[in-house]
């Protein structure tokens, strides 16, 4: 057993179940749409109190809707607009306790009250975002953010770019 094997086993042993499930689900496939679709479905069916989970991918100066679970959503979001466009432009996670207080929030499902958007980075470039909405205000805490950011990394590592 080499160093890397030991490190991988230790990492797996301490990981939340959802992260382990995501690694297993995405392993063996490199297609970014297929893996986004499966990860959106895994998140949507595993995380309590959410009403939307999915992806937007960068295309020029916009984000374009990718695979998701939940109500139909707006297709194109300008770079810098809404919670998603802000996460993409700033290259950092947006955790919003009350979407009504977020200037420029784009309401796709009127039931959404809180939201977390994690940028997907490859070699410093934002290739898209992972977006999760909840009907409960302040649904997401720091621990949730750590978990969703880890899921975003699992996704990035699973695809060819
Ligand atoms: N609320 C997002 C738009 C996407 S939907 O939530 C699915 C935003 O403000 O960017």
The tens place of each residue's pLDDT in the chain, 161 residues long, gives: 444 454 455 456 678 999 999 999 999 999 999 999 999 999 999 999 999 999 999 999 999 999 999 999 999 999 999 999 999 999 999 999 999 999 999 999 999 999 999 999 999 999 999 999 999 999 999 999 999 999 999 999 999 87
Among 75, 115, 118, 139, which is best to mutate for testing ligand 1, by the most ligand atoms less than 8 A from CB?
115
Nearest to 40 by CA among 18, 55, 24, 21: 55
115 lines ligand 1 (CB under 6 A): yes
State residue 49's pLDDT score: 98
Q: How far is the CA of 124 from the centre of ligand 1 (A)?
A: 23
State residue 161's pLDDT score: 73
Domains, the chain, in order of start with CATH, read 3-158 (3.30.450.40)
State residue 15's pLDDT score: 84
CA distance 38 to 26: 8
Q: How far is the CA of 37 from the centre of ligand 1 (A)?
A: 18
94 lines ligand 1 (CB under 6 A): no
Nearest to 56 by CA among 23, 38, 41, 78: 78
State residue 38's pLDDT score: 98
Asked if residues 158 and 55 have their Cβ atoms less than 8 Å apart, the reply is: no
Among 50, 79, 131, which is best to mutate for testing ligand 1, by the most ligand atoms less than 8 A from CB?
131
| Ligand 1 atom 3: residue of nearest CA | 106
State residue 4's pLDDT score: 47
Q: How far is the CA of 154 from the centre of ligand 1 (A)?
A: 22
CA distance 91 to 75: 20
Q: What are phi and psi of 43, to 5 degrees?
A: -65, -45
| Ligand 1 atom 2: residue of nearest CA | 106
pTM listed for this prediction: 0.92
Q: How many of the other CB atoms lie within 10 Å of CB of 113?
A: 19
């Amino acid at each position: 057993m080499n160093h890397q094997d030991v490190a991988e086993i230790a990492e797996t042993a301490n990981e939340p179940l959802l992260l382990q499930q995501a690694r297993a689900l995405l392993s063996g496939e490199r297609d970014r749409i297929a893996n986004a679709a499966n990860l959106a479905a895994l998140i949507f069916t595993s995380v309590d109190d959410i009403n939307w989970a999915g992806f937007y991918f960068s295309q020029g100066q916009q984000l374009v809707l990718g695979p998701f679970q939940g109500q139909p959503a707006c297709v194109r979001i300008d770079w810098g607009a809404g919670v998603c466009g802000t996460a993409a432009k700033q290259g950092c996670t947006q955790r919003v306790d009350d979407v009504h207080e977020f200037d420029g929030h784009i309401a796709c499902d009127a039931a959404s009250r809180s939201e977390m958007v994690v940028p997907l980075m490859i070699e410093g470039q934002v290739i898209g975002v992972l977006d999760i909405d909840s009907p409960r205000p302040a649904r997401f805490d720091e621990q949730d953010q750590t978990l969703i950011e880890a899921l975003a990394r699992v996704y990035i590592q699973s695809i060819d770019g």
